[in-house]
Amino acid sequence: MGTLYTVIYRMIVVMSLSVIGFATAVLAEVPLLKVLLTEPPPLSDEVIEPQFLNYNQAMHDIYLYVPPTTVPTPTTIPTAYGHGDCSWLAELAVTAGWAVEDIPKLTEVALRESGCCPNRAGGDIVDSDCNITGIAEKNHRSDTGLLQINGVHWQPKHKYYDGLVCREMNICTQEPLFNPLNNLIAGKMIFDKVGWQAWGE
């Protein structure tokens, strides 16, 4: 009887091993399990360059050939002026948005209004270097800078205040309008609204 049990036991073991071997072979055909059951390749010191595919490759190529953004150099505002010298005005006026064809007329207006002295308020007397030497009259003190921008456009307490410059440029005091670029931008806004008549033309 003992011999019979031994034979049966051995047969069970053999059959079990056969089943396990068959199952392993079948499962090894499944792609994912192939990867799991396959020994990993040995580590290498070789550097593998990344490969870009589809969308990533396209974006990579785009960024390779997009030229860098060029930041324009700001126009330099002069630091010294001469009464009657408007040679610097044209370049700054174009930066402020004035059309090239309007520059000659604009220069005439600036010359008449302030002598191209951007630091001048209405009634100021200036020397040849635009230094203020006195006040001739005080009735037009809100007229400001290069184009003598009137307080009606920037001074909230002005009797006839319309607030164009204060509202659109957030300049509601006189000082910023002594900057010639600010003054030219404000002048362009006024010109676009009413034309040269703002300066009596």
Read off the tokens for 27. 């499962």
pTM of structure: 0.63
Report the chain (201 residues): mean pLDDT per 10 consecutive residues.
56 54 47 50 57 52 44 67 96 96 97 97 96 94 96 89 91 96 96 94 78
**Predicted pLDDT of residue 188:** 97
In this structure, the chain runs to a length of: 201
* C-beta separation of 113 from 146 below 8 A: yes
Return the closest-CA partner of residue 87 out of 116, 52, 113. 116
Residue 177's φ and ψ, nearest 5 degrees, are -80, -5
How would you classify residue 156: left for phi > 0, otherwise alpha for psi between -120 and 50, otherwise beta? alpha
**Predicted pLDDT of residue 38:** 56
**Predicted pLDDT of residue 160:** 85
What 3-state class would DSSP assign to 133?
strand
**Predicted pLDDT of residue 33:** 45
- What does the alpha-carbon distance between residue 147 and residue 134 come to, in Å, rounded to a whole number? 19
Domain ranges of the chain: 1-39, 89-199
Residue 140 carries which side chain, given as an amino acid letter?
H
Residue 163 carries which side chain, given as an amino acid letter?
G
**Predicted pLDDT of residue 119:** 97
**Predicted pLDDT of residue 168:** 93
